[in-house]
């Protein structure tokens, strides 16, 4: 075992857990999960069957990650964030064959108490504000907040708000990385 699991964590047989990953108090990792190297799974986290977490994913306390969720490398999931996997859940109706997938792209951050409605993609390096309810796809580098979540700007890979000039260029104040806004999308240039 090349990962750490607190004695109160429950890890079902049939999981793949990468080297250097840490799983803390009262968390439950269910069968068929794939968790990459160097992840940190906080306290009281549920990782449902078939969930995939890339490398260096940080999952804060009380997060629920349900079947159908795939997080790429370097994703951050804030405290008490939750993912859904059924659009129209009913206790008396079994819909396990109707889980809608949710894909969180590399480097995205989801704030505390945010809810991600299933079937949506969160773009690379997007930043979802605390308490937001995401009901539709989020573009790469987008900054979204509210209920329902609405885009209010763009952020760099380091999470700084980007201010674009008349040529559609912006510079991250921390890294000097240059970004281009064009045709409703943002991409990093260097």
- Any idea where the domains of the chain sit in the sequence? 4-155, 162-190
* C-alpha distances out from residue 117 to 85, 101, 180, Å: 7, 10, 29
The pTM (predicted TM-score) of the whole model is: 0.96
Instruction: Give 73-122 pLDDT, tens digit per residue.
Output: 999 999 999 999 999 999 999 998 999 999 999 999 999 999 999 999 99
Neighbours of 115 (CB within 10 A): 20
Confidence at residue 106, expressed as pLDDT on a 0 to 100 scale: 98
Instruction: Give 178-188 pLDDT, tens digit per residue.
Output: 999 999 999 99
Which sign, positive or negative, has the C-alpha torsion 17, 9, 58, 124?
A: positive
Based on C-alpha coordinates, what's the Rg of the chain? Answer: 17
**4-155 carries CATH number 2.160.10.10:** yes
Confidence at residue 187, expressed as pLDDT on a 0 to 100 scale: 97
Instruction: Give 128-153 pLDDT, tens digit per residue.
Output: 999 999 999 999 999 999 999 999 99
Confidence at residue 151, expressed as pLDDT on a 0 to 100 scale: 98
């Amino acid at each position: 075992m090349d990962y750490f699991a607190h004695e109160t964590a429950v890890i079902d047989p049939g999981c793949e857990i990468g080297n250097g990953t840490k799983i803390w108090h009262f968390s439950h990792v269910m069968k068929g999960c794939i968790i990459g190297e160097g992840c940190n799974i906080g306290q009281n986290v549920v990782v449902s069957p078939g969930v995939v977490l890339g490398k260096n994913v940080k999952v804060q306390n009380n997060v629920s990650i349900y079947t159908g969720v795939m997080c790429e490398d370097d994703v951050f999931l804030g405290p008490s964030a939750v993912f859904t996997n059924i659009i129209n859940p009913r206790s008396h109706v079994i819909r396990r064959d109707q889980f809608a997938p949710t894909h969180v792209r590399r480097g995205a951050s989801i704030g505390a108490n945010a809810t991600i409605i299933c079937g949506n993609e969160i773009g690379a390096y997007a930043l979802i504000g605390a308490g937001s309810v995401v009901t539709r796809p989020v573009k790469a580098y987008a900054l979204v907040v509210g209920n329902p979540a609405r885009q209010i700007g763009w952020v760099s890979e380091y999470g700084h708000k980007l201010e674009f000039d008349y040529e559609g260029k912006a510079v991250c104040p921390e890294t000097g990385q240059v970004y281009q806004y064009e045709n409703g999308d943002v991409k990093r240039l260097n």
